[in-house]
Amino acid sequence: MNILITGGAGFIGSHIVRRLVTHYPAYQIINLDLLTYAGNLENLKDVDQSPNYTFVKGDIGDESLLDEIFTKHNITHVVHLAAESHVDRSIKDPLVFIKTNVLGTANLLQVAKKHWQENYEGKLFYQVSTDEVYGSLNMGFDLFTEKTAYDPRSPYSASKASADHFVRAFYHTYHMPVVISNCSNNYGPNHFPEKLIPLFIHNIIQKKSLPVYGKGENIRDWLYVEDHARAIDCILHKGQPGETYNIGGHNEWTNIDLIKLLCDIMDRKLGRSAGESRELITYVTDRAGHDLRYAIDATKMEVELDWLPVETFETGIEKTIDWYLNNKEWLDHVTSGSYQEYYSKMYH
């Protein structure tokens, strides 16, 4: 396989790049990333000298660059992760979400079609998507399945839903082999500290306040990022064209329960007195249109592809906290902005 991974310098992308580069030395892995604020090549410094890895800085919206990459590397597979990914940013500035997530995906599909349409044999366009396209669940036992109708409610989820629709349209209209996976909230190493878990780990270390939106009653279904990377590997190799796969860890937590757990583990690890970090919790104005609950039914992944998450939330969160405590440099570079110098040091 000659795999174009988009967004490979981001949180989830970096785990996919590492996994594919190290597990499949015979594959060529080309990582195309624009290095927006969310892209960080320090995430990949352990693999960036591998002979089967190439990094290209660029935009998924740049048709001629994509043409060049497809031709030069004879791309057979696309694993598409590049996106604007933060809901709060999408509320403030929806247009960049439309540009990257919708138009960027459409551009990538067009270029893949142009290069592959003579012979789709051995080709695959894999769209990495989110459970947020399904909308919001009420409290209770309902779960999102692959048959749940799309009902996106934030500009972020609307842009991802739109992109998913284009991917399916290319399957039905042009017979392009595609797969889509819709995953629940990820957490783990390399997570940019604007999202709940890394932001709160950072703030607890710094003894800064922990801004809980609304009453903290919203529920998210958390999956350790390496379990997601394994699921993507599994779908890339065994997924059926035209199919959708829901990925999740059956790990539903209200935000406030999760935050209290985080505070308690961090107090223990930092040698602080019990309850100290809980004092940092501050209830703030709720997010506009805040989805109440997400929860995934991942039965299809288990039954058809033999995938199950390895980490429970308790084991995954311990690993995650340990990683942030042992990689303070990574956090310092991200919070100071110096992580963005890594590209010029490495590639110029």
Q: Which residues are catalytic?
A: 131-132, 156
| Residue 196 interacts with which of ligand NAD, ligand TYD, none, CB < 5 to 8 Å by class | ligand TYD
Closest CA to 89 of 78, 79, 80, 98: 98
> 45 forms bridges with which residues in the sheet?
none
Name the residue whose CB lies closest to ligand NAD: 10
- Dist CA 108 CA 38 (whole Å): 20
Per-residue x/- marks for ligand TYD, 85-124, CB under 6 A?
Answer: --x-------------------------------------
Of 37, 213, 253, 323, the residue at the interface with ligand TYD (CB under 6 A) is 213
> 254 forms bridges with which residues in the sheet?
219
Which of these ranges, 90-98, 117-125, 140-148, 210-218, lies near ligand TYD under the rule CB under 6 A?
Answer: 210-218
Q: Which is nearer to ligand NAD, 104 or 309 (CB)?
A: 104
Measured at the alpha carbon of residue 233, what is the angle toward residues 67 and 31, in degrees to the nearest 5?
30
Q: Which is nearer to ligand TYD, 132 or 146 (CB)?
A: 132
Interface with ligand TYD, residue 81, by CB under 6 A: no
Of 20, 34, 196, 266, the residue at the interface with ligand NAD (CB under 6 A) is 34
DSSP 148-194: SPP---SHHHHHHHHHHHHHHHHHHHH---EEEEEE-EEESTT--TT
Interface with ligand NAD, residue 193, by CB under 6 A: no
The single-letter code of the amino acid at 73 is: H
Of 3, 4, 6, 170, the residue at the interface with ligand NAD (CB under 6 A) is 6
Chain mean position to CA 336:
23
**Residue holding tokens 């889509």?**
180
Interface with ligand NAD, residue 313, by CB under 6 A: no
Chain mean position to CA 198:
14
User: Strand, helix or coil at 36?
Assistant: coil
Closest CA to 47 of 12, 11, 9: 9
**Residue holding tokens 């990689």?**
327
Of 211, 254, 261, 270, the residue at the interface with ligand TYD (CB under 6 A) is 211
Interface with ligand TYD, residue 295, by CB under 6 A: no
- Dist CA 66 CA 70 (whole Å): 6
- Dist CA 140 CA 208 (whole Å): 34
User: Strand, helix or coil at 259?
Assistant: helix
Per-residue x/- marks for ligand NAD, 116-155, CB under 6 A?
Answer: ------------xxx-------------------------
Q: Which is nearer to ligand NAD, 148 or 185 (CB)?
A: 185
Interface with ligand NAD, residue 16, by CB under 6 A: no
**What residues from 177 to 206 belong to the interface with ligand TYD (CB under 6 A)?**
185, 195-196, 199
Closest CA to 191 of 147, 213, 148, 222: 222
Measured CA to CA in angstroms, residue 179 lies from 67, 116, 167, 176, 305 at distances of 22, 16, 8, 10, 13
Smallest gap from residue 10 Cβ to ligand TYD (A):
14
Which of these ranges, 76-84, 197-205, 253-261, 333-341, lies near ligand NAD under the rule CB under 6 A?
Answer: 76-84
| Residue 255 interacts with which of ligand NAD, ligand TYD, none, CB < 5 to 8 Å by class | ligand TYD
Q: Binding residues for ligand NAD, per CB under 6 A?
A: 6-7, 9-13, 32-36, 38-39, 59-61, 81-83, 85, 100, 104, 128-130, 160, 183, 185-186, 192
